[in-house]
């Protein structure tokens, strides 16, 4: 059974944040992902090395790694050899870096006009912020999401996961790359994909931004329908000190919720403000404190109420839904034995995701990839000694 992206080769130079997330997603779907790093990052440590730290994660699945010195003429020549038969190149340097290295889109498309060349940056390839450094917290800040996160009247609260890098930027990058590959099927030509994490956050926050653009009303955190203004879309502490999420937006869900909580008198006051809203809040808070989180979850499943437990990370692996959907899986690892892993969100009926290989060390597949490019053993050994490859 063929994998969805079988036969697609991706050269990945986007080492952190959205790059690994995007590449992992495409690798799970069957692409041959080759991660190209500098020749010897282990000598200076730095952010690349933690990616192979077993205490953080067991390496990368469904990809290969090689070390390559792009500052050396021979290294650039090898990269061009890789690019000749590649479908996608991903890079995560600041704007202008790949041009200085001599491996930018304008150079590569002369070698391979079908290449899809994706640049993943914080702010994009143009604009006054193009050269600014940043991380997830900066992109969700300038994109409006951080300012909408947290309690009313309080300071912004950092989300529990990286939103710009993964949920917004990483997935958006995968979509952009796949769209360019589909366009290539019609035109025969590749193209440049300019992905900005900040752009992705802004579009992801459109539910809050669009009403302001239309009517000029500035939304405030904790004061909108989906940020905690109403009792029926909120978080409640339970008797055991844990928390439950309630999202009874539709009137019939709210009616069911009120019935199960024994407060049918509130049904007609779902969108009440002032004292009525505070009365419902008070009742809900006091009522949810009378039972444990899991007891309430069992009760609220009796009718459609849009309720779910709020888990700590260590609780995910035992949730029956996540197990059934294979979002927590076990896989054989070449050095760590049987390990638990986060599964793939993609469930394709005819092209199921599978773990084909692991990269567990830097430059693990350099020699193998060089042989595929046609380099002989003597040449490869010489390039290792010259530190062109690593």
Q: Which residues are catalytic?
A: 135, 165
Residue 162 near residue 136, CB atoms below 8 Å: yes
User: How many Cβ atoms sit within 10 Å of the Cβ of residue 241?
Assistant: 9
Token pair of 237 as six digits: 């502490």
To the nearest 10 degrees (0 to 180), the angle between helices 293-300 and 251-261 is 120
222 touches 235 (CB < 8 A): no
Beta strands in 248-363 (DSSP E): 307-310, 328-333, 337-342, 358-359
Q: Are strands 358-359 and 60-61 parallel, antiparallel or unpaired?
A: antiparallel
Q: What tokens were used for 75?
A: 């290294």
Determine whether 302 is exposed, middle or buried from the number of CB atoms within 10 Å of its CB (0-12, 13-18, 19+). Answer: exposed
Residue 255 tokens read as 């009616």
Q: How far is CA 220 from the centre of its chain?
A: 26
Q: What is residue 61's three-state secondary structure?
A: strand
In order of 21, 123, 215, 249, 336, the CA distances from 95 in angstroms are 20, 9, 36, 44, 38
DSSP, residue by residue, 206-271: HHHHHHHHHH-PPP-TTSSTTTTSSTTEEEEE-TTS-EEEEE--SHHHHHHHHHHHT-GGGGGGTT
CA angle in degrees (0–180, nearest 5) for 56-61-62: 160
């Amino acid at each position: 059974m063929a994998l969805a992206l079988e036969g697609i080769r991706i050269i990945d130079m986007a080492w952190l944040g959205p790059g690994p997330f995007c590449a992992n997603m495409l690798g799970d779907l069957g692409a041959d992902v080759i991660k190209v790093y500098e020749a010897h990052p282990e000598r200076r440590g730095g952010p690349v090395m933690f990616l192979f730290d077993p205490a953080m994660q067991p390496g990368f699945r469904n990809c290969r790694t090689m070390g390559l010195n792009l500052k050396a003429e021979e290294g650039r020549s090898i990269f061009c050899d890789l690019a000749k038969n590649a479908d996608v190149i991903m890079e995560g340097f600041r704007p202008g870096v790949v041009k200085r290295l001599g491996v930018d889109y304008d150079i590569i498309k002369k070698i391979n006009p079908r290449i899809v060349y994706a640049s993943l940056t914080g702010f994009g390839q143009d604009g006054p912020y193009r050269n600014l450094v940043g991380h997830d917290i900066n992109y969700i800040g300038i994109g409006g999401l951080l300012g909408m996160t947290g309690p009313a009247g309080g300071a912004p609260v950092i989300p529990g996961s990286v939103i710009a890098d993964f949920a917004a930027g990483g997935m958006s990058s995968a979509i952009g790359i796949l769209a360019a590959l589909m366009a290539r099927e019609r035109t025969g030509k590749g193209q440049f994909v300019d992905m900005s994490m900040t752009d992705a956050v802004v579009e992801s926050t459109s539910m809050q931004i669009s009403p302001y653009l239309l009517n000029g009303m500035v939304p405030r955190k904790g004061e909108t329908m989906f940020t905690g203004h109403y009792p029926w879309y909120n978080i409640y502490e339970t008797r055991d000190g844990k928390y439950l999420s309630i999202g009874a937006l539709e009137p019939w869900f709210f009616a069911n919720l009120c019935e199960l909580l024994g407060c049918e008198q509130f049904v007609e006051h779902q969108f009440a403000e002032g004292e009525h809203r505070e009365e419902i809040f008070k009742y809900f808070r006091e009522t949810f404190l009378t039972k444990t989180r899991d007891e309430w979850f069992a009760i609220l499943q009796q009718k459609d109420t849009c309720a779910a437990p709020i888990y700590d990370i260590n609780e995910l692996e035992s949730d029956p839904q996540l197990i059934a959907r294979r979002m927590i899986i076990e896989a054989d690892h070449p050095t760590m034995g049987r390990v638990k892993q986060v599964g793939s969100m993609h469930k394709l009926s005819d092209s199921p995701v599978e773990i084909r290989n692991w990269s567990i060390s830097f430059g693990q597949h350099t020699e193998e990839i060089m042989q595929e490019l046609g380099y002989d053993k003597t040449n490869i050994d010489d390039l290792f000694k010259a530190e062109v490859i690593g």
